[in-house]
């Protein structure tokens, strides 16, 4: 994996890339994720070339003043502009929201979409993001140990322990993320945000899309994946094994679906 930097608004944002063959793929991480999450999703793709940006406040990229999905998308657009031609654009959760926004607002940059475990369709502050917002609020108003204990004893943690243990593990991990003040800001602000597009915008897309969802995931409900697949005319929906139940099977199925989709894109004739 190679590392470089993108200069934006006086910030040096971390860019990661790997592989050497196939259609150009840009793939983005989720909220409070980073290059490790991108690399994990790419690990089953062999020599497929890929590139990903750590969004502001994630990984090695400093936070800066602005925090929004629109701002993160603008940064990704600037990175794509430095590449040759439009790309297959995808991501997990927040990364999927960035991808749908750019497909609508910058169609010149996007030739196909890969939307994995989407947490947004079009609405701001969807109900499924409430657990992230809750953790952000607790980190903002309470000392760390008290915030962790309050969440662990609360209704959200009890519910997710039964319904979506993988979500619960991720939420608990946020209490160990540093700096605490930046984690609180990211969770609270992005959970209340949205991709800034409409259902009609998605209906107007004329590019292929692979939409992957799974069960036992309260923060990335399968219903969101279904809704996106229903709205985007050329979308294909794939239900992956539940990540909470078998992570290895989940990642293997994702790699299979992406490999098949990328081959179809690579074999397709250029758009007129």
pLDDT digits 0-9 by tens, 94-151: 999 999 999 999 999 999 999 999 999 999 999 999 999 999 999 999 999 999 999 9
Q: Which residue has the tokens 């894109």?
A: 265
The helix-helix angle for 165-173 and 155-163 (nearest 10°) equals 130
Please state whether 224 falls in left (phi above 0), alpha (psi between -120 and 50) or beta.
alpha
Residue 251: which pLDDT band, with cuts at 50, 70 and 90? very high
54: DSSP letter: -
What is the distance, to the nearest Å, from the Cα of residue 175 to the centroid of all Cα atoms in its chain?
Answer: 20
Q: How far apart are the C-alpha atoms of 89 and 106, rounded to whole Å?
A: 11
Domain ranges of the chain: 2-124+195-267, 127-189
Domain 2-124+195-267 of CATH type 3.30.450.20: no
Q: How far apart are the C-alpha atoms of 272 and 264, rounded to whole Å?
A: 17
Asked if 210 contacts 113 with a C-beta cutoff of 8 angstroms, the reply is yes
State if pTM tops 0.95: yes
């Amino acid at each position: 994996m190679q590392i470089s930097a993108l200069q934006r608004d006086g910030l040096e944002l971390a860019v990661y890339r790997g592989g050497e063959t196939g259609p150009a793929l840009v793939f983005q991480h989720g909220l409070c994720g980073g290059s490790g999450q991108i690399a994990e999703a790419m690990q089953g793709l062999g020599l497929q070339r890929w590139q990903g940006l750590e969004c502001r406040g994630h990984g090695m990229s400093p936070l800066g003043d602005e925090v929004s999905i629109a701002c993160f998308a603008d940064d990704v657009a600037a990175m794509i502009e430095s590449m040759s031609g439009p790309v297959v654009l995808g991501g997990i959760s927040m990364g999927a929201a960035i991808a749908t926004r750019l497909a609508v607002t910058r169609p010149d940059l996007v030739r196909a979409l890969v939307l994995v475990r989407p947490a947004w369709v079009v609405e701001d502050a969807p109900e499924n993001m409430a657990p992230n917002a809750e953790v952000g609020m607790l980190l903002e108003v309470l000392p760390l140990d008290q915030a962790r204990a309050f969440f662990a004893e609360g209704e959200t943690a009890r519910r997710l322990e039964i319904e979506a243990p993988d979500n619960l593990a991720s939420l608990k991990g946020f209490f160990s993320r540093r700096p605490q003040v930046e984690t609180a800001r990211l969770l609270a602000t992005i959970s209340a945000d949205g991709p800034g597009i409409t259902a009609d915008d998605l209906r107007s897309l004329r590019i292929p899309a692979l939409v992957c969802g799974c069960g036992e995931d309260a923060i990335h409900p399968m219903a969101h994946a279904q809704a996106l697949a229903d709205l985007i005319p050329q979308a294909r929906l794939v239900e992956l094994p539940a990540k909470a139940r078998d992570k290895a099977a989940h990642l293997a199925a994702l790699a299979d679906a992406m490999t098949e989709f990328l081959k179809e894109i690579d074999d397709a004739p250029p758009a007129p």
